[in-house]
């Protein structure tokens, strides 16, 4: 069932995208904030989720966890690359990069919004991020014949900064500054909404000139990105068959929300404008799929710190 928080999230997301594109001068100072904002959102998630509990979530059902990681890190990128090679070959590399990305650090926010299990979703974020340096570069080389020109140590360092710094900071804040932690937890939704707004303005202002100079390419990339969202939803629906409701909801969220900010950074640095535009425009269907997931995840999962 569609909720007021969903409407506010979508309105904020798309309004700030438009602001970034058409008022890039106002957004100039925010071009460097997207990475900091996604780290802040994961920090908020770890205020309410104990690291030991996150590890326990994965160990409670190792087969389901392994099934999710295999589908997320290997099956989905293989399916996406094969599909685009046949039907839309100019986006085969862009689709491979996005489909092979780790679960977004935004995923726990969506898990809370959808009443999915936040602990399981956070475990998916951490485990898929740890697997990424060892799965995505070989897939890019083997399938696309391209080179992701960033070494495993550098990728591990970047992901460690994105994941473990906010994780440890969140737990430290909960232990040493409990009043501040409680204040932020009570305002979790508006704080995350503000971080999403800043992220969108920062991302779209950076590509403002490109979007306005070649809007046809931007719209084409957006359509291609929307197709990948649909493909991920389909693979996720097949993945969850036979899982308990708790694992089904978390698996849907983990499969549906890739770390497009990370892929945008890689695409901008190592690949061409097509891949970067695809990654940037992916944020449009990225938020819109909330409407589909809201219909599918229609029951509380009874997990760690679920919230509407």
Q: Span 85-110, mean pLDDT?
A: 95
Looking at residue 48, its pLDDT comes to 76
Looking at residue 83, its pLDDT comes to 97
Q: Provide the residue ranges of all domains of the chain, joining segments of one domain with +.
A: 4-296
Q: In degrees rounded to 5, what are phi and psi of residue 115?
A: 60, 30
- Tell me: the pLDDT tens digits for 28-83? 777 778 888 989 998 998 887 777 777 777 788 788 889 999 999 999 999 999 99
pTM, two decimal places: 0.90
Residue recorded with tokens 């919230």: 307
Report CA dihedral (56, 59, 64, 69) to the nearest 10 degrees. 90
Q: Could you give the CA distance from residue 105 to residue 259 in angstroms, rounded to a whole number?
A: 7
Percent share of the chain, pLDDT over 70: 94
Q: What is the maximal distance between C-alpha atoms in the chain?
A: 55
- Tell me: the pLDDT tens digits for 127-139? 999 999 899 989 9
Q: Span 89-105, mean pLDDT?
A: 95
- Tell me: the pLDDT tens digits for 160-175? 788 889 988 998 998 8
Residue 59: DSSP 8-state: H
Report the candidate in 249, 274, 257 with the shortest Cα–Cα distance to residue 84.
274
β-partners of residue 258 are 103
pLDDT band at 298 (very low <50, low <70, confident <90, very high): low
Select 4-296's CATH number: 3.40.50.300, 1.20.1530.20, 3.30.1360.170, 3.30.930.10. Answer: 1.20.1530.20
Higher pLDDT, 196 or 28: 196
């Amino acid at each position: 069932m569609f909720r007021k928080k969903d409407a506010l999230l979508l309105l904020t997301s798309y309004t700030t995208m438009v602001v970034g594109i058409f008022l890039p001068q106002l957004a100039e100072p925010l071009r460097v904030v997207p990475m900091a904002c996604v780290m802040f959102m994961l920090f908020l998630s770890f205020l309410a989720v104990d690291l030991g509990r996150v590890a326990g979530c994965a160990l409670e059902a190792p087969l389901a966890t392994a099934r999710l990681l295999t589908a997320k890190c290997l099956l989905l990128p293989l399916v996406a690359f094969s599909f685009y090679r046949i039907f839309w070959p100019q986006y085969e590399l862009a689709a491979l990069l996005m489909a092979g990305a780790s679960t977004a650090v935004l995923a726990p926010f969506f898990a809370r919004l959808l009443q999915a299990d936040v602990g399981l979703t956070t475990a998916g974020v951490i485990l898929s991020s740890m697997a990424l340096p060892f799965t995505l570069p070989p897939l890019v080389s083997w399938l696309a014949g391209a080179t992701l020109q960033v070494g495993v140590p550098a990728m591990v360092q970047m992901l460690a900064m994105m994941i473990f710094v906010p994780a440890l900071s969140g737990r430290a804040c909960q232990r040493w500054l409990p009043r501040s932690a409680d204040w932020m937890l009570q305002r979790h939704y508006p704080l995350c909404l503000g971080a999403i707004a800043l992220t969108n303005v920062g991302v779209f202002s950076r590509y403002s000139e490109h979007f306005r100079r070649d809007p046809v390419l931007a719209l084409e990339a957006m359509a291609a990105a929307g197709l990948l969202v649909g493909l991920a939803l389909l693979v996720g629906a097949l993945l969850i068959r036979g899982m308990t409701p708790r694992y089904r909801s978390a698996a849907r969220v983990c499969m549906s929300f890739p770390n497009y900010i990370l892929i945008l950074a890689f695409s901008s640095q190592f690949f061409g404008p097509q891949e970067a535009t695809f990654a940037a425009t992916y944020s449009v269907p990225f938020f819109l799929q909330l409407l589909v997931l809201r219909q599918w995840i229609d029951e509380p999962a009874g997990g760690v710190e679920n919230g509407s």
